[in-house]
Amino acid sequence: MSKLYLLGGENVFKRSAREVNEQAFYDAGKPLIVVVFPWARASFDKTYKRRKRLVDYFIGLGADKIEFIEYSDPKEIIAEKISFSNLVYLTGGLVSALVERLRKMDVDHLLQSYQGVIIGRSAGALALSKRAVITCRQSQKTKLVNGLGLVDLTLKVHYTPEKDSELELLSKKDKIYAVPSSSAIVYENGALSFIGEAFLFENGKKRSL
């Protein structure tokens, strides 16, 4: 079973969640081979500067090899790259798009049997969860969408207290874990631990974890 890091968000330019990433990279062991899924944006992001920034960051954290998995890669190549890695990194963006693409390319099944470390940042964290709390861009209303369910919980990332009333209302039907940017929930063998701040909304009430 893999060890999952559900990262509430990060400014990669500022490396604002370095503590979380350092722990995850350490847990993955050596030699450290990282595969990155940049599949969460509306259009596929191959921006050189953005990728170079992530590569530089990961090398500084101890990565020996970093590979970006393209959506155009054949399924066999994707499976092979994952099998030779010990850390999988899912970037942020649009959770619905990410979940749909991961399922279409059978990556969801590969991740379910993966034995290394998985980091999901923002939308990546939501995709790993059973359900995700998101805010619609047009209406600004909060709603629930389904993730891949590698972790059996409902998750809100980029948490700030401004959404407390909506989260309290939603939590009357389903308990919700809320994680600010730069903090993370760590899941291993059915147990949860936390790096930084995290909150639980349950039965209409909020408490710190």
For residue range 97-134, what is the model confidence (pLDDT) as tens digits? 999 999 999 999 999 999 999 999 999 999 999 999 99
* Percent share of the chain, pLDDT over 70: 96
Q: What's the angle, vertex CA 203, arms to CA 199 and CA 207, rounded to 5? A: 25
Of 131, 128, 83, the closest CA to residue 108 belongs to: 128
- Per-residue pLDDT, averaged over 36-64, amounts to 90
Radius of gyration of the chain (CA): 16
If one counts the domains in the chain, the total is: 1
Helix (H, G, I), strand (E, B) or coil at 3: strand
**CB-neighbour burial class of residue 8 (10 A; exposed 0-12, middle 13-18, buried 19+):** buried
Residue 137: pLDDT band with limits 50, 70, 90? low
pLDDT computed for residue 141 by the predictor: 76
> pTM of the predicted model, to two decimals?
0.95
146 within 8 A of 34, measured Cβ to Cβ: no
CATH number at 196 reads 3.40.50.880
Asked whether the predicted pLDDT for residue 33 surpasses 90, the reply is: yes
User: Which of the pair, 84 or 141, is modelled with greater confidence?
Assistant: 84
* Percent share of the chain, pLDDT over 90: 89
129 within 8 A of 153, measured Cβ to Cβ: yes
| Residue 161: count of CB within 10 angstroms of its CB | 11
Q: Choose the weakest-confidence range: 48-52, 119-123, 163-167, 190-194.
A: 48-52
pLDDT computed for residue 45 by the predictor: 67
Rounded to an integer, what distance in angstroms lies between the CA atom of residue 116 and that of residue 134?
A: 28
Determine the length of the chain. 209
Beta bridge partners of 4: 118, 187
Helix (H, G, I), strand (E, B) or coil at 28: helix
Distance of CA 137 to the CA centre of its chain: 20
Rounded to an integer, what distance in angstroms lies between the CA atom of residue 127 and that of residue 120?
A: 8
- Per-residue pLDDT, averaged over 37-52, amounts to 84
Range of the domain at 183: 3-208
Average pLDDT, the chain: 94
| C-alpha count within 13 angstroms, C-beta hemisphere, residue 208 | 6
Asked whether the predicted pLDDT for residue 1 surpasses 80, the reply is: no
Rounded to an integer, what distance in angstroms lies between the CA atom of residue 32 and that of residue 170?
A: 40
Phi/psi for 164 (5° steps) reads: -55, -45
